[in-house]
Amino acid sequence: MNGAPKGDIYGDLAHWFPLLTQPEEYAEEAAFSLDLLREHVVGPLETLLELGAGGGNLVSHLPESIDLTLTDLSPAMLEVSRALIPRAEHLVGDMRTLRLGRTFDAVLIHDAICYMTTETDLRAAFATAFEHARPGGAGLFQPDYVRETFAPVTDHGGEDGPPQDNGRPGRALRYLEWVTDPDPADSTYRVDYAITTRGEDGSVEVRHDAHIEGLFGRERWLELLAEVGFEPLAVDDPWGRVVFVGVRPTG
């Protein structure tokens, strides 16, 4: 991997993101997430804030009756999301420090929560969610792994884009993914991508993108959520993951 040029999925490669992962892949998870929120939000579910929204793939499946405010550190990723969900409000912001001065019925942090690599950062993200949840509102946090569920894995994927107007092939992307834990004693794991892109002119490039992500035990997640004020619970989802719900008390 050391010989491949560096790339950034959320930066200079963001315009390739729709070929890396398709919104259709998130339909079942979106339905599951919506059911969880409806079960735990006290009162109506009419507004939702997503922190670390990325390309917007999951929330693109939520009903139009829910007003969406989507935030992310990457302006380039927000442009991808804006093209997919033009009805949503899009704002640049850091999930650890964002303060909008308003509250929502629900706050969502999907897999972007994985980029919180220390307990300090994870707690800060929870505090942001708590500050933006109204009394009776709920936060939903969906990491790829907790310490108890982590296992090294490989994956691959990618898509072809639509053909060009002249009938020639359009853009295309393929990736290989490695998930490893180089040091089981620390609070992180590593995800490496080898990304091959083909442009409309037929040119092919290969890039390497590395991500360091956080790994914490299930009970520590619950403790940190409680520390910021949520009433937390852990839920096993249909895909073998542990996700977390936090309800902001009404009293």
127 shares a domain with 69: yes
User: CATH no. for residue 32?
Assistant: 3.40.50.150
Query: pLDDT confidence of 177, banded at 50, 70, 90?
Result: very high
The pLDDT of residue 4 is 58
243 shares a domain with 205: no
The pLDDT of residue 7 is 66
127 shares a domain with 25: yes
Over residues 65-79, the mean pLDDT reads 97
Classify residue 4: in a domain, yes or no: no
203 shares a domain with 172: yes
Residues 35-57: pLDDT tens digits? 999 999 999 999 999 999 999 99
163 shares a domain with 44: no
The pLDDT of residue 156 is 98
% residues pLDDT > 70 (the chain): 97
- Number of domains forming the structure of the chain: 2
Query: pLDDT confidence of 1, banded at 50, 70, 90?
Result: very low
- State the chain's mean pLDDT as an integer: 96
Cβ contact 149:163 at 8 Å: no
pLDDT for 6 beyond 70: no
Classify residue 242: in a domain, yes or no: yes
pLDDT for 239 beyond 80: yes
Which tokens is 52 given?
């670390």
Classify residue 160: in a domain, yes or no: yes
Q: With helix as H, strand as E and coil as C, how does 86-153 read? A: CCCEEEECCCCCCCCCCCEEEEEECHHHHHCCCHHHHHHHHHHHHHHEEEEEEEEECCCCCHHHCCCE
The pTM (predicted TM-score) of the whole model is 0.95
Task: With H, G, I as helix, E, B as strand and everything else as coil, classify residue 239.
Answer: coil
79 shares a domain with 136: yes
Residues 107-157: pLDDT tens digits? 999 999 999 999 999 999 999 999 999 999 999 999 999 999 999 999 999
157 shares a domain with 63: no
pLDDT for 2 beyond 60: no
Kindly write down the DSSP assignment for every residue of 140-187, as one continuous string.
EE--S--GGG---EEEEE--B-PPPTTSS---EEEEEEEEE-S-TTSS
Query: pLDDT confidence of 251, banded at 50, 70, 90?
Result: confident
The pLDDT of residue 167 is 85
The pLDDT of residue 3 is 53
Classify residue 5: in a domain, yes or no: no
Where in the sequence is the domain holding 19, given as residue range(s)? Answer: 14-146+216-247
Classify residue 1: in a domain, yes or no: no
Over residues 71-90, the mean pLDDT reads 97
Classify residue 3: in a domain, yes or no: no
138 shares a domain with 85: yes
